[in-house]
Structure 1
C-alpha cells in the first residue's frame, strides 16, 4: 500500500501522506490518518498584497505536494517557548494543515485549531498540534496560519483593518468549501485555540460576519484583545514615526519585513510599567474594534446575543502567569509588602480583604505565588467567569485546569494543551509538564473534547450565567459548584 494519498480541493489536487496514530486501539479508533500539510488557502501576502485583505489561492495544475509544513508568519528562532512552535521560511504563509482519518469518508466532525502567541508569534507547525489522535477518534483536524504582529493587526491609514482576522475568516471559508474532500462535514465545525488562539475563537464567536463558519467553540485560556480603534491608530502612527515613513501602505511598504519587526519589537518591549498597562489596557496589537468586522467589544456582542446559538467550552489554568514570578523575581518579591504588591497589580483596597480570604491557600505559599495568581486572575480567570455570565442561558460549559506541573509545581500557561491533543508522548514535554504527566488525565480531557466536537456536549453540566458546575481537570477529575468563586472580588473592578 502506498504511503501517499490524494484529495481534490477547489484550487487543485493535493498529495498527502498516511501516518500511524498513537494511543491504545479501541472501538471506532483509527490506526492511521492522512496528513496534508501546507495547503495554501490564499496567495502569498507579499509585494502589493502585503497589507491587503487575503486573496484566495489561484488554481494550479497537476498534483501539489502537501508533505511538509508551509511557511509561517513567525520568523526566525522563537527562542525557548512553552510550546514547540517552529518557524518555517518562505513567502506563502497563509496555509492550512489537514489531518483526516480517511479522505473517502463522509460527514465527519471537524476541529479547526488557531494557534496562540500573543498575536505576534506562534506557528501552526507545532508537533503538539498534530491532529493524529483527534483523527484516531474520528475527527478531521485543521490547523491554520495567519499574519502576525503589525502585518496582521496594525492600523494603516489606507489598508484594510484586522488583516489577521480576515485571514481567519478566509481559512474558515476554505474549510467550508473544501473539508468534504477530506471526509469532513462543513456543518459540523468546531473552532478552538489557546491563549491568543483562544481569544481568536472568542472574537469570532462575537462577530456577526463569522456565524456561518462554525457551530461550536472551545476556548483555552482565551486572551481577548478588543483593541480600541483609537489605540490601534495611535500605535500605527507611532510606528510610522519611528520608521520615518507616512502611516500609509506606500510608507510601510518601503520598510522591509525585518525593519517592521524590529520597530514592532521595540514598541512592545515590556518595561517597568508595561505589565500594568497590559493588565489595564490589553495588548496593543491584536483584533481591533474597527466598526467593520468587529462592531463592538466581544463581551458586548455576547451580551447582545451574538453567537448564542453556538455551543461554547471555556476555561483557564489555575496559575497561567505564575511562572513569571519564579526564580529571581520570586526572591525579589519576598521583600515587597503585600499591600504594595496588590497596589502595583491594580487590586484596590476595597476588595483586598475579600480577595485574600478567597485565595487563602495561595496567600500561604508566599508573595510570589500571590502575585502570579493576581496576574492570572486579572488577565484570564475573571474573563472566564465574565464571559460565562455574559452568555446567560446560551449553552456554555466551564472548566479549570488545576493539575500541577511536575516541573513548575502549579498549573501554568499552556500546560493543558498537550492534554487536549492527547500528545503527552510528544517532544519538549518535560520542561512544561515534568517527567510523568498523567496519561489518565489526558485520556479524560481529550475524550471530553472529542465528545464536544462530535456531539456538542463535553460531558459535565452546563453553566448558567453566574452560577453553575465547573469541571476541574486534576487527579482525580472532579466537579465544583462554583469553581471560579475566588475571582469574584476582582470581577467587581474588571467589569
Structure 2
C-alpha cells in the first residue's frame, strides 16, 4: 500500500499518498473540498466556505463530481462519481514538504461544453508536471443549468464563482503543498480553455493567477436575453415557475435530462440549432451579467483586462471536422460553396473563406464544411483574442500554436487529441483509442516541454504574436514543413469581422 503523507490546510489536515509514475515519485491529494457541498439551501447559492474538520481527512480517492448521470465515455475518459461534496480540488505535488522557494503551480480547468466533464480523468493526472517541478491542481465546478443557468432570486454565474473560490483556495493553501501562490498559471481545454479566457478578462479574477493557457478554448459569453429564454424553457419543460423555488423543487437528474432541449431554440429544426451554436456559442456557460462578467470576453481583453499576464493559446487543426465525416458521400458531388451558403449567407465572406482554404478542396466538400465548423467555433477565437491583446498594448506577450498531427484512428487532428501530449500521459486509459498504439514520443516531449517552459519561465520559446502578429508554432507538422509559420490562422481570418 502507498505510504501516506499529511498536509495541513486552512480547513484541517488531509492525508494523501505517494505513488510512482514513469519512475518518478510524487504525492497526490484527491477530493479536497474548497467550498461547502452545493445541496439543499446552497444548491443555487454562491460557493459557501467549508466547515473545518477535526482529525485527518482522507484524500486518497477522487471526490464527488458535478458530472452526473453519465458514463463518461467521451473522447476523454471522464468518470462520474456520486456524492454531495462536488466542489473539490485534486493536488499533485513533487514534494509536499518542499522547504525551498515554492514551486510554480498549474491550475487546470476541464472541458465538456460547460455541461459535462470531470477532474477525475486519468488524462489530467499531474505526475509528469510534478516530475518537471510543477505542482498541479485540477478543479471541479458546477455544470450546466446548476452552474450557469439564469435563475430569479439566485446569484448569476455560479460555476464562475466556483472557479474563483477554487483559485482563492489555491492562494491560501498551495504553499502547504510546496507551491508558490505568486506563480500560478491557469490552464484549461475546450470549455476549460474558454473558462481561462473568461477569467483572464474578469476584473475580479486578476489577483488569483499570473499567466494563462487556453487549449482549444470555446467561450460562451451568453447574452442575458438568451440565458433568460433558456431558463424559461427549462422551467416550462419541468412544469415549474422559473424561480429559485421552482427549480429547487425539481430533482437534479430531471433538470439534467431537460437542459439540452431547453438550450435549443423552441420548435427549431436541426439547421437552426446548428446556426445558433455556430454564431451565438454554447447555450450554457458564463453569462455576461454586467457584474461578475461585465462584458464579453474579447471586448474585455481589448480593453486591457489581463494584459499584464502572459497568454499561450491555440487549437488543433480540425477540432470538429469529424462531425461531417458521415456526410462525405452526400456532399462529394456538391461544390463547397453550396453547403457553406447555409451558414455564410454573405457571398463576399464565403468566397474569401473558400479562397483562404483552397488547399482543403482536395479533401472534399465534407472536409471543407468540417473545417468551417472548427474555424467558426475555435480557430477564429484565437485570432480575435490574440488581435485584441495586441490592440490593448499591454506589457505581457501572447503566443499562438496549432496542433496538426492527425489521429491514426480518427483521421483528423481532432478535438481532445492533444491533451495526453500536453500532460505526457500517453500510457493512460483511452489514449490509444484516439492516438493509436504508438503515439510519437517526440511530439509529447515538444508539447509537454512547451507547457512546462511556459509555466516555469513564462515563455514557450518562439516569437510571440504580440511581436509579430500571425506567427504560430506548429506541433505535429510533416517533417518537410516548418515548425514556425508566419500566419498560422490565415484560414479563419475571413470569419473575423
TM-score (norm 1): 0.95
Query: How far does residue 2 in structure 1 lie from its aligned partner after superposition?
Result: 6.3
1:44 has 2:37 as partner: yes
Q: Which residue of 2 aligns with 1:295?
A: 294
| Offset at residue 238 of structure 1 (A) | 1.8
Structure 2, gaps ≥5 residues long: none
Does residue 147 (structure 1) correspond to residue 145 (structure 2)? The answer is: no
Work out whether residues 389 and 466 of structure 1, in 8 Å CA contact, stay in contact via their aligned partners in 2: no
Alignment of 1:390-401 (within 5 A): 390-392=388-390, 393-394=393-394, 395-401=397-403
Aligned to 2:306: 307
Q: Does 1:8 align with 2:8?
A: yes
Quick check: 1:480 aligned with 2:485? Answer: yes
1:469 corresponding residue in structure 2: 471
Separation in structure 1 between the aligned mates of residue 363 and residue 133 of structure 2, nearest angstrom = 44
Q: Does the 8 Å contact 2:401/2:472 carry over to 1?
A: yes
CA offset digits 1:215-259 (Å, max 9, x no partner): 000000100100011111121122112222111111111101111
Instruction: Determine whether 1:137 maps to 2:135.
Output: no
Q: Are residues 79 and 8 of structure 1, via their aligned partners in 2, closer, same or farther at CA, if it must alter by over 3 Å?
A: closer
CA distance in structure 1 between the partners assigned to 2:421 and 2:33 by the alignment: 29
- Equivalent of 1:211 in 206, 210, 218: 206
CA distance in structure 2 between the aligned counterparts of 1:372 and 1:353, rounded to whole angstroms: 17
2:187 aligned to which of 183, 187, 192 = 192
Q: Could you tell me which of 410, 423, 438 is aligned with 1:436? A: 438
Paired residues of 1:391 and 1:465 also in contact (CA < 8 A) = no
- Alignment match, 1:26: none
How many Å apart are 1:347 and its aligned residue?
5.6
Q: Which aligned pairs between 1:155-304 and structure 2 lie closer than 5 A?
A: 155-268=150-263, 271-304=270-303
SS in 1 for 2:270: coil
Q: Please list the CA deviations of residues 334-388 of structure 1 after superposition, one character each: whole Å capped at 9, or x if unmatched.
A: 2444222111132631033332222122111001111110000011101101110
Q: Which moved more, 1:316-325 or 1:480-489?
A: 480-489
Is the contact between residue 226 and residue 298 of structure 1 (CA under 8 Å) also seen in structure 2?
yes
Q: Does the 8 Å contact 1:7/1:182 carry over to 2?
A: yes
The 5-angstrom pairing of residues 47-58 of structure 1 reads 47-58=40-51
Distance 2:205 2:445 in 1: 32
Q: Alignment partner of 2:60: what SS?
A: coil
Q: Is the 8 A contact 2:72 2:79 kept in 1?
A: no
Q: Which moved more, 1:265-274 or 1:469-478?
A: 265-274
C-alpha change, 1:188 and 1:12, in structure 2 (3 Å) is same
**CA distance in 2: counterparts of 1:465 and 1:155, whole angstroms:** 40
Q: Name the CA distance, whole Å, in 1 between partners of 2:369 and 2:11.
A: 51
> d(CA) in 2 for partners of 1:465 and 1:119?
33
TM-score by length of 2: 0.95
In 1: Cα distance, 2:452 partner to 2:144 partner: 32
Check if 1:317 corresponds to 2:316: yes
Q: Which residue of the other structure, out of 37, 51, 71, is the alignment partner of 2:64?
A: 71
Check 1:490–1:466 CA distance in 2 against 1; reply closer, same or farther (3 A cut).
Answer: farther
Aligned mate of 2:358, from 352, 360, 364: 360
Q: Which moved more, 1:263-272 or 1:401-410?
A: 263-272
Q: Retained in 2: the 8 A contact 1:319–1:413?
A: yes
CA distance in 2, matches of 1:67, 1:81: 25
Q: Distance in 1 between matches of 2:432 and 2:350?
A: 36
- Structure 1, unpaired ranges of 5+: 24-30
- Between Structure 1 and Structure 2, how many residues are aligned? 484
What is the Cα deviation at residue 297 of structure 1?
Answer: 0.3
Among residues 369, 372, 377, which one is paired with 2:370 in the alignment? 372
Secondary structure in 2 matching 1:463: coil
Q: Distance in 2 between matches of 1:436 and 1:162?
A: 42
CA contact (8 A) 1:342 1:348 kept: no
Counterpart CA distance in 2 for 1:159 and 1:71 is 23
- After TM superposition, give the deviation of residue 76 of structure 1 in Å: 2.3
- How far off is 1:466 after superposition? 7.5
> Contact between 1:7 and 1:103, CA under 8 Å: does it hold in 2?
yes
- Supply the distance in 2 between the matched residues of 1:410 and 1:250 (Cα, whole angstroms): 46
CA distance in structure 1 between the partners assigned to 2:329 and 2:45 by the alignment: 48
Q: Deviations over 1:275-313 (max 9, x none)?
A: 111011111110000011000001111010000000000
Q: Contact 1:4–1:18 at 8 Å: present in 2 too? A: yes
User: Cα 1:79–1:54, aligned 2, differ >3 Å: closer, same or farther?
Assistant: closer
- List structure 1 segments (4+ residues) > 6 angstroms apart after TM superposition: none
Question: Match for residue 449 of structure 1?
Answer: 451
Residue deviations 1:452-488 (CA, integer Å, cap 9, x gap):
0011001111112772421001145700111111222
SS of the equivalent of 2:245 reads helix
The 8 Å contact of residues 341 and 350 in structure 2, kept in 1 or not, is answered as no
In 2, the alpha carbon distance for the partners of 1:347 and 1:307 equals 35
Q: Distance between the aligned counterparts of 2:73 and 2:85, measured in 1? A: 25
CA distance in 1, matches of 2:316, 2:433: 17
